[in-house]
Structure 1
Amino acid sequence: MSQGRAARLAPVIAMAERAEREAAVQLGRVQGQLRQAEVKLGQLEHYRGDYQQQWISEGQRGVSGQWLMNYQRFLAQLETAIGQQRQSVDWHRANLDKVRDTWQQRYARLEGLRKLVQRYLDEARLLEDKREQKLLDELAQRLSSRASS
């Protein structure tokens, strides 16, 4: 009987496995997107550092007013891009947390179902062992009563 219950859960486990696998793939995809966003942010910040170093070098030689205005305008645009990329990184981190939670829930459900099936199989094995022992006991009793008669 318990083996039958375990067998009836096979399609449910297959669906849970599929859902867990899909969530794991999605988790990997989102982790990759976060890494890309962090790399882009790092590149922008590095570029800003290089650009600021250029300001120091050029400033020591003396710069025109036009060069200074262009530098400030470009630096402001760069700061805006960095701010937007930071927001993108924050969004990707939040999304990763959400996707990770989904995967953890699906994984926990799958593990719970697997444990339930194992319990059903253990129960079936125990019942079968008891039946077998009962038959052996009955057989031993019959043999014993025949031998004594």
Structure 2
Amino acid sequence: MAQSRAARLAPVVDMAERAEREAALQLGRCQGLLRQAEVQLGDLERYRGDYQQQWISEGQRGVSGQWLMNYQRFLTQLETAIGQQRTSVDWHRSNMEKVREAWQQRYARLEGLRKLVKRYQDEARLAEDKREQKLLDELSQRISARDSQS
């Protein structure tokens, strides 16, 4: 009886395994996208640092008003790009956390199903052991009864 309960759960466990695996793959994709967005942000911030260093070098030699205006305009655009990239990183991080939570729920469900199947299998094994012991006891009694009649 208990073994058949475990067998009946096999398709449910298979579906839960597929759902968990898909959630894990989705989490991996989200982690990759977050890493990529963080790398892009780091690149932009390094480029801004290099550009600011260039300002220091050029400023020591003296710059024209036009050069200064171009520098400020480009720096403003660069700051805007950095801000947008930070927003992108935040969005990817938030999305990844949602996907992680979904994966954790699917994983917990799968583990719960596995424990239930194991419990059913253990119950079936115990019932089978008891049945076998009962048969052995009966057989032993029959043999003892037969031997005592002889």
The answer to whether the superposition gives a TM-score over 0.5 is: yes
Percent same amino acid at aligned positions?
Answer: 83
Q: How far apart, in 2, do the equivalents of 1:14 and 1:65 lie?
A: 70
Displacement of 1:147 in angstroms is: 1.1
Correspondence for 1:33: 33
Q: How far apart, in 2, do the equivalents of 1:128 and 1:10 lie?
A: 20
Q: How far apart, in 2, do the equivalents of 1:62 and 1:131 lie?
A: 98
Displacement of 1:146 in angstroms is: 1.3
Segments of 4+ moved more than 6 angstroms: none
Correspondence for 2:46: 46
Q: How far apart, in 2, do the equivalents of 1:129 and 1:13 lie?
A: 26
The alignment of Structure 1 onto Structure 2 pairs a total of residues equal to 149
Displacement of 1:88 in angstroms is: 0.7
Displacement of 1:148 in angstroms is: 1.1
Post-superposition Cα deviations, 1:85-117, rounded to whole Å, max 9, x if no partner, equal 011111111111111111011011001101100
Correspondence for 1:2: 2
Displacement of 1:138 in angstroms is: 0.5
Mapping of residues 58-137 of structure 1, within 5 Å: 58-137=58-137
Q: How far apart, in 2, do the equivalents of 1:140 and 1:55 lie?
A: 99
Amino acid at match of 2:141: Q
Unaligned runs of 5+ in 2: none
Q: How far apart, in 2, do the equivalents of 1:119 and 1:29 lie?
A: 35
Post-superposition Cα deviations, 1:120-142, rounded to whole Å, max 9, x if no partner, equal 01100000000000000011111
**Counterpart secondary structure, 2:127:** helix
Q: How far apart, in 2, do the equivalents of 1:59 and 1:142 lie?
A: 108
Taking structure 1 as the reference length, the TM-score comes to: 0.99
Amino acid at match of 1:36: Q
Q: How far apart, in 2, do the equivalents of 1:70 and 1:77 lie?
A: 11
Taking structure 2 as the reference length, the TM-score comes to: 0.98
Amino acid at match of 2:146: R
Q: How far apart, in 2, do the equivalents of 1:39 and 1:6 lie?
A: 48
The two structures, once aligned, show a CA RMSD in angstroms of 0.6
